[in-house]
């Protein structure tokens, strides 16, 4: 996986005088998985590389949000073979989300 960009929306907003809840946007990709999809249909470029938002609500709850890669593929008319590749990306994103939401080393339950 390659991290292409990390955007701190709250920090950028502060520069304009607007206060936002913490929100960081990550743009990252899996070139070995995404390049074949781009070769099939260049419209996949609208949604590749992957994007993930980590944000905090007013209650202090942190969430992780992303678009389902298979849904994105269907949006672009992906073939069954492309959907299988997108399903692997979906599993990877779900793993990232699960790892991010789990207990941290040294905390109770770790």
* pLDDT 10s digits, 8-51: 999 999 999 999 999 999 999 888 888 888 888 888 888 889 99
- CATH number for region 2-101: 3.30.310.70
pTM for the full predicted model? 0.80
Q: What is the average pLDDT across 83-103?
A: 85
What are the residue boundaries of the structural domains of the chain, listed by start? 2-101
CA atoms within 13 A on the CB side of 19: 2
């Amino acid at each position: 996986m390659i991290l292409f960009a990390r955007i701190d929306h709250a920090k950028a907003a502060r520069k304009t005088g607007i206060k936002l809840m913490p929100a960081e946007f990550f743009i990252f990709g899996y070139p070995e998985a995404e390049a074949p999809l781009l070769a099939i249909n260049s419209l996949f470029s609208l949604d590749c590389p992957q994007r993930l938002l980590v944000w905090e609500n007013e209650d202090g709850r942190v969430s992780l949000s992303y678009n389902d890669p298979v849904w994105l593929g269907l949006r672009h008319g992906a073939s069954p073979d492309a959907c299988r590749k997108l399903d692997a990306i979906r599993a990877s994103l779900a793993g990232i989300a699960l790892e991010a939401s789990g207990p941290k080393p040294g905390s109770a339950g770790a």
